[in-house]
């Protein structure tokens, strides 16, 4: 808590005392409230919006029972946080991961409100998921789980009400099973989920969109310092949807990706992950559902380092001997709080120029502070990973008009949206006295649209 005035500080204190056991949610709220001082000073009436925005409009929690292949009953928990619908229907992904709880989904839903506002599209914010772990489950088990999950969720969502999509552990396979069950129960075919397969209403470029958008944003940010991806070495964490397509776009722009990871460990390939190796990784992760360790067995001269057992530690950023990673750009694309202050310092020591968040909140507040004080260009996820949800918005539009746009059309709209988000966050930071600080720029620019619409509608 740095520069909050008293009225904002009261809001933050209430958030903590109301839900003292939600650390990830507190972290996301504090980061936003820290930026809003000058906005409230200029528009004191906006404090009512701040007060209401930190409370989700609605939270739904439900039981998800399913039988595994041995005939044993498993009972997971499903949650949907419908955070804010003042500028459009709730929109945001579903996460299936054993760590999922209300704190994590509220942090993600809260971030989503600002991110979706930044896209310029009419999208409110929400998030959901389950503590179900798809790892090691058969296709039939995943299908049974998804059908059970949707057998409750379907009554709370709709194409004009709440439109879920993927996130960690939810990709094309899961969206397919979820969509099928929704269509059956609702007895209608609408764009109720995004990230759908192309044969049943999906949009071209949606799988690529988060990773591509991230690199478009980072490219714009680098350009402000006269730099580019050409010849830059790039550390990427994760090896899922966002990481794979970030890697692909870095290659398109002439950069050299050197790392990828999963929750078991990371690979460092000093010769660079080229297109052939990337397509092997896609097959490994998307079809064979294998571990990144196999990369080190398949290709020559690869360093593989196993993760530490503690949760939320990703050795990639510390490296095995605590020596700085010599990279120009870092793109954390795995999970929240994967880069702490010490790891940020290692990146700074290694000469990093830019860090852009592909994941949601992968850098701790201390890590962000370290980048900002050392003059590293830093893009917060709510701006730099907004390409995924923006393209989900484009999928919704295509579903509404019952048309499909070409790959080129969607990609060029995505690129235009990312360029706009960069411009808007950069200029807003400048205007409110946070020059060069994209965190403040994104928080303020995202807030203003929601604030205006909430006040006009009488808050509610
Ligand atoms: P995926 O499930 O496709 O991939 C996640 C990757 O991150 C996997 O390699 C996974 O390893 C790794 N990972 C997940 N949790 C941990 C952990 N606790 N420690 C170490 N590694 C971990 O998910 P996405 O690529 O879709 O999502 C990645 C991030 O990007 C998330 O923060 C998500 O919220 C964010 N995001 C996603 C968007 C999208 O469109 N999909 C849009 C915007 C943001 P393993 O397989 O071993 O678990
Ligand atoms: O965090 C995110 O923005 C996503 N997981 C994508 C959400 C969406 O609705 O496409």
Greater model confidence, 323 or 301: 301
Q: Does domain 209-375 have CATH number 3.40.50.720?
A: yes
CA distances from 265 to 41, 237, 342, 386 (A): 47, 10, 19, 27
Q: Is 127 assigned a catalytic role?
A: yes
Q: What is the pLDDT of residues 68-101, one digit of tens each?
A: 999 999 999 999 999 999 999 999 999 999 999 9
Which residue in 331, 330, 317, 316 sits closest to 387, CA to CA? 331
Please give the distance, rounded to the nearest whole angstrom, from the Cα atom of residue 169 to the centre of ligand 1.
7
Any idea which ligand is nearest the CA of 104? 1
Among residues 127, 196, 249, 285, which one is catalytic? Answer: 127
39 pLDDT band (50/70/90 cuts)?
very high
| pLDDT, average across residues 283-309 | 93
Q: What is the mean pLDDT of residues 21-47?
A: 97
Region 243-269 average pLDDT:
96
Ligand 2 pocket list (CB less than 6 A): 91-93, 112, 115, 165, 167, 194, 360, 388-389, 392
Closest C-alpha to 183, from 192, 174, 170: 192
pLDDT of the residue at 326: 87
Which pLDDT value is given to residue 322?
Answer: 58
**Does the predicted model carry a pTM greater than 0.75?**
yes
Instruction: Report the distance separating Cα 105 and Cα 129, nearest Å.
Output: 8
Same topology, domains 1-55+437-460 and 209-375? Answer is no
Q: Is the confidence at residue 313, as pLDDT, over 60? A: no
Question: What is the arithmetic mean of pLDDT over 371-393?
Answer: 98
108's CB contacts (< 8 A; 6+ apart) are 81, 92, 93, 95, 127, 167, 360
Give the chain's mean pLDDT. 96
Q: What pLDDT, on a 0 to 100 scale, did the predictor assign at position 316?
A: 81
Q: Is 169 in the pocket of ligand 1 (CB under 6 A)?
A: yes
- List, as own/partner pairs, every contact residues 37-46 make where C-beta atoms lie below 8 angstroms and the sequence separation is at least 24, other chains included: 37/3, 37/4, 37/5, 37/8, 38/432, 38/433, 38/444, 39/432, 39/444, 39/447, 39/448, 39/451, 40/5, 40/7, 40/8, 41/5, 43/451, 45/455, 46/447, 46/451, 46/455
**Domain boundaries defined on the chain:** 1-55+437-460, 56-192, 209-375
Average pLDDT (255-265) is 95
Q: What is 1-55+437-460's CATH topology?
A: 1.10.285
Highest CATH level, class, for 56-192: alpha beta
Spatial separation of the C-alpha atoms in residues 410 and 146, rounded to whole Å: 29
Question: How far apart are the CA of 238 and the centre of ligand 1, in A?
Answer: 6
Among 145-154, 304-313, 419-428, the range scoring the smallest mean pLDDT is: 304-313
- In this prediction, residue 317 has a pLDDT band, given cuts at 50, 70 and 90, of confident
């Amino acid at each position: 808590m740095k520069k909050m005035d008293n009225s904002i500080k009261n809001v933050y204190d209430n958030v903590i005392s109301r839900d003292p056991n939600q650390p990830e949610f507190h972290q996301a709220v504090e980061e936003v409230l820290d930026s809003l001082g000058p906005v409230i000073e200029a528009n004191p009436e906006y404090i009512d919006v701040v007060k209401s925005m930190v409370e989700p409009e609605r939270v739904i929690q439900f039981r998800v029972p399913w039988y595994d292949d041995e005939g044993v009953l498993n009972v997971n928990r499903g949650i949907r946080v419908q955070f804010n619908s003042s500028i459009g229907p709730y929109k945001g992904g579903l996460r299936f991961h054993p760590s999922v709880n209300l704190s994590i989904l509220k942090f993600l839903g809260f971030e989503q409100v600002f991110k979706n506002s930044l896209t310029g599209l009419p999208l409110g914010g929400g998030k959901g998921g389950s503590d179900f772990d798809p790892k090691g489950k058969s296709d039939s088990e995943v299908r049974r789980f998804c059908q059970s999950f949707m057998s409750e969720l379907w009554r709370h969502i709709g194409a004009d009400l709440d439109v879920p999509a993927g996130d960690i552990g939810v990709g094309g396979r899961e969206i397919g099973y979820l969509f099928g069950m929704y269509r059956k129960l609702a007895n209608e075919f609408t764009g109720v989920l995004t990230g759908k397969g192309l044969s049943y209403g999906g949009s071209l470029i949606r799988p690529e969109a988060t990773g591509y958008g991230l690199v478009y944003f980072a490219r714009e940010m680098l350009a402000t310092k006269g730099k580019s991806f050409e010849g830059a070495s790039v550390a990427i964490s994760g090896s899922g949807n966002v990481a794979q397509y970030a890697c692909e776009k870095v290659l398109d722009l002439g950069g050299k990706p050197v790392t990828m990871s999963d929750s078991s460990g990371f690979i460092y390939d000093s010769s660079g992950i080229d297109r052939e190796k990337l397509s092997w990784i896609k097959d490994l992760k998307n079809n064979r559902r294998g571990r990144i360790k196999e990369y080190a067995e398949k290709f020559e001269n690869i360093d593989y380092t196993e993760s530490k057992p503690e949760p939320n530690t990703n050795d990639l950023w510390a490296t095995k001997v605590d020596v700085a990673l010599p990279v120009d750009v870092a793109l954390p694309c795995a999970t929240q709080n994967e880069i702490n202050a010490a790891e940020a310092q290692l990146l700074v020591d290694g000469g990093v120029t830019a860090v852009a968040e592909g994941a949601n909140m992968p850098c701790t507040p201390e890590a962000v502070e370290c980048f900002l004080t050392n003059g590293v260009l830093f893009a917060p996820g709510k701006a730099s990973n907004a390409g995924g949800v923006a393209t989900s918005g484009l999928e919704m539009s295509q579903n509404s008009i019952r048309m499909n746009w070409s790959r080129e059309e969607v990609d060029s709209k995505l690129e235009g949206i990312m360029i706009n988000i960069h411009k808007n966050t950069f200029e807003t930071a400048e205007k409110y006295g946070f020059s060069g600080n994209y965190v403040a720029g994104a928080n303020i620019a995202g807030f203003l649209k929601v604030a205006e619409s909430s006040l006009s509608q009488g808050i509610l």
